[in-house]
Amino acid sequence: MRLTIAQAAKLVKLDAGESLPKSQLSKSVLLPLQKAGVVSLEKAGSSYVVRGIPGKLADFVEHQWGIRDLARYAQAVPDNRSRSLMADVAGNSKALPNRPFDGIFIRSFGNCYVAGKPLNSSPPGTSVLITLGELPNLRVESSHLVAVENAECLWHFEKAARYFPELMELDYAVVLRWHWGETWRRWLDTWKGHLLYFPDYDLAGLKIFATEVLPYRPNARLLIPRNFESILEVRGDRELYLKHEKYLPALNDYAELTQICRTLKKARKALEQESLLS
């Protein structure tokens, strides 16, 4: 059995001599601890709490699950863990699942640096992965950052850029919204530029903007294609709109989305961002 991060966090508390309600520990975890004598059950009202024996519990966790450093293992959330970390704290690089490409895919146009070294310009069809460990060293000197939803639009953003004439006057880089975890949000907090968002023009795409972008970057702005209503009429998909129509009521609370939601509702069509590449 693989010990989860949540389970490990509870065992860290027990190893410090704290107690937990018995109901918070699964049988698959509690029974081996009881059998090894590294926890005790104490009556608490009509139920029981589990109390750990400091030191002994951590030693047993290493014997039972191979975890050499229980505290570090419990802190190995996806944003900060790697295969080398798992090898160090658990003796197994695959002790917890890792996403080898965790980080930010970015296209620089001569305006991005990592640890002071320029990324130069990313030709069409390419991008650069900035791993989560290197993300704090990323410096974007452009005044704007364009976030896109899909890899194809990252690689070939030039084909879609013609629909946004305002970009011609701006200095920007392009980033893929793929894994925007806490590390990325901390980086955004320190960056002083303007975030532009290139969404899927359906209600699900707008919901992502409302719930995953605006809460962390309230001044983010949507990119809306020039002549959007005409494009929607010709290229829009009725089924795509109907599939996500259920999100419309919740989006009405966002002033930033009022006009585009009104346009989608009027046409009863939606549009994926890849449609602007052709």
For 39-51, the pLDDT digits (tens) are 999 988 888 999 9
pLDDT, tens digit (0-9, with 9 covering 90-100), for 210-239: 998 999 899 999 999 999 999 999 999 999
The band of 177, judged by pLDDT with boundaries at 50, 70 and 90, is confident
* Residue 67: φ, ψ to 5°: -90, 110
pLDDT, tens digit (0-9, with 9 covering 90-100), for 156-169: 999 999 999 999 99
Residues 76 and 89 sit within 8 Å (Cβ to Cβ): yes
Retrieve residue 209's tokens: 């903007």
What is the model's pTM? 0.69
Q: How far, in Å, CA of 89 to CA of 66, rounded?
A: 9
Residues 112 and 135 sit within 8 Å (Cβ to Cβ): no
Q: Among candidates 178, 144, 177, which has minimal Cα distance to 161? A: 144
**First and final CA of the chain: distance in angstroms?**
49
Residues 256 and 181 sit within 8 Å (Cβ to Cβ): no
Residues 146 and 172 sit within 8 Å (Cβ to Cβ): yes
Long-range contacts made by residues 133-136, C-beta under 8 angstroms, separation at least 24?
Answer: 133/82, 134/103, 135/103, 135/104, 135/183, 135/184, 135/187, 136/183, 136/186, 136/187
Helices (H) and strands (E) in the chain, counts: 13, 12
Residue appearing with tokens 């991060």:
5
Residues 122 and 153 sit within 8 Å (Cβ to Cβ): no
User: Which domains are delineated in the chain?
Assistant: 5-90 (1.10.10), 103-277 (3.40.1360.10)
Residue 195's Cβ-side half-sphere holds a number of Cα atoms within 13 Å equal to: 23
